[in-house]
Structure formats: structure tokens, C-alpha cells
Amino acid sequence: MKKIWLAGGCFWGVEGYFQQLQGVVDTTVGYGQGQVVNPTYQQVCSGETGHTEICEVVYEETQITLVKVLEHFFRIVDPTSLNRQGPDRGTQYRSGVYYTDEIDGAVIKEVLQQVQVRYTRPIVVEVEALQSFYPAEEYHQDYLNKNPHGYCHIDMGLATVNERK
């Protein structure tokens, strides 16, 4: 199993989208890249902790590659939007791709260069080694499964039928 951490606005939508895909075996939403140990949702929302809302995606590499995961990620985010996705605004909603394997980091940076040619504005997605990740409170986990009509800024239909579980 491989892991990648994705930030693209509200983590509920990122999690809900990736849970649909074949090869994704687990997801956990949480807070990463900040300065506070084990922050609360309220602390992160203050914008003072440096954290972003992140979805940890665990996937089976023989079923879905990192490149394919990133292809899906760029379907659901505006990579030129700084500290914002859809109506979600603030540093905690910045976009990012975080890794623990340097080989993955190189792949991510290469994909980002390929994506940049599709845009006239610069891509502002953070690409960094994962510094920290703290799972969010239980009520955030699997939120859209628990609340099917809950808020989500992502079009879940962007996952193509043959790639869904």
C-alpha cells in the first residue's frame, strides 16, 4: 500500500471523491503542515496554526498509480487558486500534495510541470514532504457518507464510471 496526502479545499469533498475510486483502500481526513500539535478544527479554522485540511489517501499501486491519483486530484481543484477552492477561503483550504517518499516527490513535481502547460496563470499547489498529519475529529471522518446531503464543493461525477468502485 502507498499513501499520499491531498489538500484541495474542504477535506470532506476530497475524501468523498477519492473513496469512489478503484484502488483507493482507505482515507482519513485531518490537519497537516502546521505548527500546533494535534490541533482542533476550531484552531485550524482560526488560520493561526498553519495547518491545511488534508485527506490521507491509501491506495493499492497495482490498481491505481500515483500519476492516476494526481490526474484525479487535478480534476477536482483549481490549481491556480491561492488559499481557496470553491467557496472555501483561508489558508486552511490551500491546495497541496504531500509525500513521504522522495521518489513520489519527483513524480509529483513532474506531473505538476505537465499540468502547468494547461494554465496561463501559475500553479500555486504546495508540493512538500509531509511535515505533520493529525487525524481530524471523528465527526469529520467519512462525513459525506454519514451526511449524504452535506456540504461539498466538488463535483463527485468527475470520477469516471469505469474508475469507480
Model confidence pLDDT, tens digit, residues 106-119: 999 999 999 999 99
Q: Which of 10, 45, 55, 152 is catalytic?
A: 10
Does the annotation mark 152 as catalytic? Answer: no
Q: Residue 14: what are its φ and ψ, rounded to 5°? A: -60, -45
- The residues pairing with 59 across neighbouring beta strands, listed in sequence order, are 2, 24
pLDDT at 58: 98
Domain architecture of the chain: domains with CATH: 2-163 (3.30.1060.10)
Model confidence pLDDT, tens digit, residues 63-98: 999 999 999 999 999 999 999 999 999 999 999 999
For residues 68 and 84, what is the distance between their CA atoms, to the nearest angstrom?
Answer: 23
**Residue 128 DSSP symbol:** E
Model confidence pLDDT, tens digit, residues 3-35: 999 999 999 999 999 999 999 999 999 999 999
